[in-house]
Chains A and B, each alone.
Chain A
Amino acid sequence: MTAPVKLAAGVAIVVSVTLYMAYVGASSSWKYYVTADEYTADSASFAGKNLRVSGKVAADSLSVDSSRLAAKFALASSNGNLPIECRCSVPDNLAEGRDVVVEGRADERGVLVGEKVLTKCASKYQADAASQPPRMASQREEVR
């Protein structure tokens, strides 16, 4: 067996193992990624499936447990708000009007039970000023 053939055999093994591992990782972690509008338009087809739902926290819907390990809110949608119940660590900057991503599954009541809530980072290359959080005129005295 010549050196290039041996090398090709070794490379083939490396490629096979990596692809197999990637397949294992994909099969255990894939989720449907939908917006709140897409979910509420066809919620029945997503029943029992792993989901990542993105949307904006609806006004007057947020209530956070004092331990910050649970929260209830709704994601705004044109088909009616999507209720969310999270039993996980709640991000500090979770607020009404903020863009979030919720990972979890829908239960039989149609409530999305979140295992993880991620707030979107209002960061670089954001083109429109309208998506910035609303400005608060007050300073810290009013906060207190």
Chain B
Amino acid sequence: MRILGEIALLCAFMCAGFACFAWLAALRYSSRGLLRAGSAAAVLSLAGISIVAGVLAAALFTKDFSFAYVAQYSSKTLPWHYSLSAMWVGQSGSLLLWTCFCGVLVLLLGLRTSREKRMMAADAGRDEIWHSASYRLRVTAMALSMGFVCFLAAVMVFAADPMEASVSAPRDGSGLSPLLQHPAMLFHPPVIFLGYALWTMPFALSVAALITGETGKTWVKIARPWSLAAWSVLGLGILWGANWAYEELGWGGYWAWDPVENGSLIPWLTGTALIHALMAWQYRGTLKRTAIALAIATFALCNFATFLTRSGVFSSLHAFSASPIGWLFLALMTALAAVGGSLLFIRRDRLRSDTRIRSVLSRESLVITSIVGLLLLTAVTITGTVSAAISSMVLGRAVEVGPSFFNHALVPTGLLLVSLTAVTPLMRWSRAPSPVQSVCLVGSATAGIVAAAVALGCGVNHPIHIFLVAIATLAATTFGASIVLDATRSGQKGLFARLLSVVQVQRTQYAGFVMHMGFICLAIGIAGSSLGTRQRDVTIGVGDSVRWAGYDLRLDDVRQRGDATKAIDEVELSVLQRGRTVGSLVPAQHFHAMSNEWTSEVSIYSGWSGDVYVILRKSESRTKVRLTLIENPMMRWMWGSAWFVAAGVALRVMPVSRQRSRTRLRHSSSQHITMKEVGQRAAAAIWMLFVLSPGVVYLAQVAGTAT
């Protein structure tokens, strides 16, 4: 089996390299034979990688410790589902997964559009196909992506072989770290690597555009869905990782600005800037150079993240090894930056903006400001992450900045970004808001001020919390007002038909707004949990209660149990609100015999106002225990942001019938509306404010409870 895996890996490496050259040559010489040969090699390469993955998975499930990887990350007692997660816990396994994803995505990128299929089928179109911008772009991008697959396969062949044999096959493996035996580990690493793999496509398409000179709208139409997919998947992976850290590491937090966390955040930040630049390109023909540069930078930063976690240069709470692999990825990143920058310089004239910015209150201005904010955050995160390594090289001593450095920079940029997000729905491309939009903006701002005043009255006293209550209200009202304004312009009759028409015709725009609401939820969660967190250590006996975060926590039971792999000390607490039991908490301490270590298994009671987070510290006796109680306000809002993003993505990809999508709004501009219509729309906006006001008051109340 191991030999089969080794041969398959070598084949995958060689076939990927051949596919890359064959596709580039096919384009150069317009050769159908080379194109087919390249496609066959790509399929063979993916088959080879799949065989390697299959062999490793089988070895992990059958506990074949003759594989060094299995001996290091598995054991006889490891449950089967964690055997699956062991597949991507180690260095070579994670590279294998990344390669698999890239291989599949390259083939997906190669799926021809129906128009191209028709052209291929028709004899008359035989030569025309080579001049199709879409075709040229995608074949070049596939070749470049396959080049990256070849690089990953080469790293595995020469430096991190997942098929490596154990020096002497042990009777049992070292086992998986208990901290990684968590359901989130089944999903978090694959989702992160899928995100990295997806970012290969916008990069490859960007370089393809620079090579072929196809920098028209076709490019942005192909690149934008890939970028959105990569952005949402990587974001989901990061949030999943934060959730794992929150539930498993037992320190009460979810983000420590550790290099491994920053490594995935950095490309996500530049990726966020990229999808905004792509939008400006598609709708207004601006920010073309920025978009291309960001696509290259985002992929280069995915490689930088790999360097961070595998070079051994950076100080981290994660015990990473010093490995030459990290330096290979740094070299790749440097090469990408150099080649991408040079191509961008050569093609700079083709990437001139079609229009100029006419108003500082237009959407283009908002997009540019948000890109600047995101790039500032990226620069700060990179600076903080590499500070120790750079100072060590320059000063001879490693100087490291703490979380305060990142948090201080996050405050102005974060508040700026949520403010821009909140007003976006009532902004227009190229022009300042129309009179009716201006009326709605003033109304929304008034609602925000009223909400802030209510929050202040309810006891919210931190300026950032008050600001966020105002911004959340502003965002909700501008979103509602935008729907109402668009619905009144639609040619449909009836409220439901009008709303449906708005969603169908402008679903791309509203998908973005829904994702923006998720971002505001995230901001509320981050601000609430960062600024309002409280902690207390208590010793409590069975039958006693302690008041915490608006709840009474009653200790019901202290017990000890165990299974084949671990001994468990746990306690059971009832969560009471106004004398009524609303939930229970079971914090525990596990002793893992295999790794000879204790781990805390925290227990969390989650509500809309915040989480009660309980850590069992020590069993004083059979009836008395010491607990650490932490109150983390607004955590549910943070995890809830993922649902908004998911809803936005669903709306974006929702199939709409061709006939309906051709429906256009009756008026594309609001400039020629009568005063009567202005009055009607203003009334509709004010009505929306009242509809939303209970939500605003509720938000203020929960914020008050939290504070």
Which A positions have Cβ atoms within 8 angstroms of B? Answer: 3-4, 6-7, 10-11, 14-15, 17-19, 21-22, 24-26, 28-34, 52, 54, 66-69, 89, 92-93, 95, 98-99, 101, 118-129, 131-136, 138-140, 143-144
Contacts and interface: CB of A to CB of B under 8 A. Distances in A.
Given A7-B368, A15-B372, A140 B405 contact: no
B357 A7 contact: yes
A17, A19, A22: residue with the most chain B Cβ atoms closer than 10 Å: A22
Given A126-B320, A132-B72, 14 more contacts: A3-B357, A3-B362, A4-B356, A6-B360, A7-B365, A14-B376, A18-B380, A29-B402, A29-B404, A30-B387, A118-B317, A121-B319, A123-B318, A129-B174
Given A4-B357, A143-B567, A101 B409 contact: no
A11 to B, nearest CB: 5
A102 B369 CA distance: 40
Interface in B27-77: 71-72
B411, B564, B566, B596: residue with the most chain A Cβ atoms closer than 10 Å: B596
B599 A14 contact: no
B323 interface: yes
A125 to B, nearest CB: 4
24 contacts: A11-B369, A14-B416, A21-B408, A22-B380, A25-B407, A25-B409, A29-B405, A30-B402, A32-B399, A33-B400, A92-B589, A93-B597, A118-B317, A119-B317, A125-B321, A127-B91, A128-B321, A132-B174, A133-B596, A138-B593, A139-B564, A140-B593, A143-B593, A144-B567
A3 B369 CA distance: 13
A109 to B, nearest CB: 23
B493 to A, nearest CB: 40
B315 A54 contact: yes
A3 B358 contact: yes
Contacts of A136: 593-596
Describe A's contact surface by its main secondary structure.
mixed
Contacts of B372: 11, 14-15
A89 B628 contact: yes
Contacts of A29: 401-405
Contacts of A122: 177, 179, 319, 595
A32 B401 contact: no
Interface in B558-588: 562, 564, 566-567
B243 to A, nearest CB: 16
Given A4-B356, A32-B397, A131-B319, A92 B600 contact: yes
Given A7-B365, A33-B400, A21 B412 contact: yes
Nearest to B597: A93
Given A11-B368, A123-B180, A18 B401 contact: no
Contacts of B369: 7, 10-11, 14
B287 to A, nearest CB: 13
B360 A10 contact: yes
Nearest to B375: A15
Contact of A28 (B404, B413, B564): B404
B90 interface: yes
Q: Which 7 A-B pairs have the closest CB atoms?
A: A25-B408, A29-B402, A127-B321, A29-B404, A140-B567, A136-B596, A25-B405
Nearest to A128: B321
B359 A3 contact: yes
A32 B398 CA distance: 6
B400 A120 contact: no
A17 B369 CA distance: 14
B652 interface: no
A56 to B, nearest CB: 11
Nearest to B258: A121
Contacts of B380: 18, 22
A139 B566 CA distance: 8
B387, B399, B412, B413: residue with the most chain A Cβ atoms closer than 10 Å: B412
A21 B174 contact: no
Contacts of A25: 401, 404-409
Contacts of B400: 30-33, 52
Contact of B599 (A11, A30, A92, A132): A92
Contact of B591 (A3, A10, A19, A140): A140
Contacts of B91: 124-125, 127
A4, A21, A125: residue with the most chain B Cβ atoms closer than 10 Å: A125
A26 B416 CA distance: 21
B284 interface: no
Nearest to A54: B315
B678 to A, nearest CB: 25
B618 interface: yes
Given A14-B412, A135-B594, A123 B399 contact: no
B309 interface: yes
A32 B598 CA distance: 30
